[in-house]
Structure 1
Amino acid sequence: MNFPEADTPPALNKQVSELRDEAWPPDSASAPGTFAHDPALRPVSMLLVDGATVLAALDILTKELVHAGQRYRAAGLSTVVTRGTARGQGHGRRLVTAAREAMAAMDLDIGLFTCDRPLQPFYESAGWQHLPGAVLIGGTPQAPFPSDRPGFDKVTLAGFFSSRARSHRSAFPHSRIELYPGEIDKLW
């Protein structure tokens, strides 16, 4: 199921909040400051639902970016989570694959996001491509938030959707990509 984030039905939204709290307990050091996304990034929530139960959820955020002199319509994955009792059954992979396919159909040029290094094989199994040496720079130009900051162990993954993006693919590995999604979603 896909909804603009603000239009997610309350009963489903409540379950998604519970899944996020399960994955990132609010009192833990790994918990994001907030799960609310900047409306300027046009968040879309994707949910894998069985009956009335949310098994997995993620958000897609979009914005334009400029890299190596080219302007791209870009999107990324955020807050990817699978219900603890449903892990290991392929639900997360199914949803992440569906998100990549949905993004390819959204008139986007590229999908870009970071993940913890141990999750790289999971995302690659869902069709995403690793960009070796690539660093996403989040935050803002005045307050950058790079994915290679101390204490992070992130890798950058991508999907090249448009022919223009595919023809410029070589500009992305081993580069610093100025994403700048803002202060709310410092790094998607």
Structure 2
Amino acid sequence: MTTENRDARGGGPPGSVLRLAAYPEAELPGELARQVAGIEARVWPGSRFGHDPLLRPRVLVLLDGDGVVGASLTLLYKEVPCGGRVRRAAGLSGVVTRPEWCGRGLGGRLVAGARAVLEADPAVDLALFSCDRPLAAFYERAGFERLPGTVLVGGTPDEPLATDAPGFDKEVLGAFFAAGADGGADRAALSGSRVALHPGTVDRLW
């Protein structure tokens, strides 16, 4: 998938045509992996690049014409309980922009691109993830919707970590891709509910 966007403000990142590329994390080219890991380390000191392979991580990178990573995120996948049935869900993790390129809309383009990727995937019924409350409007602008009262329970059944845990200020967002009544039923089932994601001990909040 490719998107072509030019920074309307001028003085944009090198190589003004931007391309959205997606790779299974295990197949991410080494140079791109090094760039993403370096950006994450700058934004989140002490962080470790990589996700639980059981969540089938897929990395999306927004590249300039010289192959420089401007922004990246990872899509994670698993089945979740939803209104008495099991639905195929995806979540966003590790959304980050190269610090010197912040403020130029790259993050919004990347997240909107991720939503389009998920919507086009017949193996995905819905998107579901959390963010710090001040960032919720950013994800709304990219096409996701807030789910008031919904709580995601991460971690494991024995060691859960919920988005309403003390000290957290999280908001849950989603998008529903199933057609017609199925999509509406998914939204109704998840709104205001506690959703047992239990992704494990690596990606604890997704």
Matched-pair contact (CA < 8 Å) for 2:23–2:59: yes
Q: Which runs of 5+ in 2 are unaligned?
A: 1-20
Tell me by how many angstroms 1:68 deviates: 2.4
Structure 1 counterpart of 2:33: 13
Aligned residues, how many?
182
Matched-pair contact (CA < 8 Å) for 1:56–1:80: yes
Structure 2 counterpart of 1:66: 81
Structure 2 counterpart of 1:82: 97
Structure 2 counterpart of 1:44: 58
Task: Name which of structure 1's ranges 53-62 and 99-108 shifts more when overlaid on structure 2.
Answer: 99-108
Matched-pair contact (CA < 8 Å) for 2:176–2:186: no
Give the 5 Å matches for 1:1-188: 1-26=21-46, 31=47, 34-50=48-64, 51-107=66-122, 108-163=124-179, 164-188=182-206
> What do the CA deviations read for 1:124-149 (whole angstroms, capped 9, x no partner)?
00000000111100111121110111
**Higher Cα radius of gyration:** 2
RMSD over aligned Cα atoms? 1.1
Give the TM-score normalised by structure 1: 0.93
- Identity level (%): 47
Task: Name which of structure 1's ranges 56-65 and 168-177 shifts more when overlaid on structure 2.
Answer: 168-177
Moved beyond 6 Å, runs of 4+:
none
Matched-pair contact (CA < 8 Å) for 1:46–1:99: yes
Give the TM-score normalised by structure 2: 0.85
Matched-pair contact (CA < 8 Å) for 1:2–1:45: yes
Q: Which runs of 5+ in 1 are unaligned?
A: none
3-state SS, counterpart of residue 168 of structure 1: helix
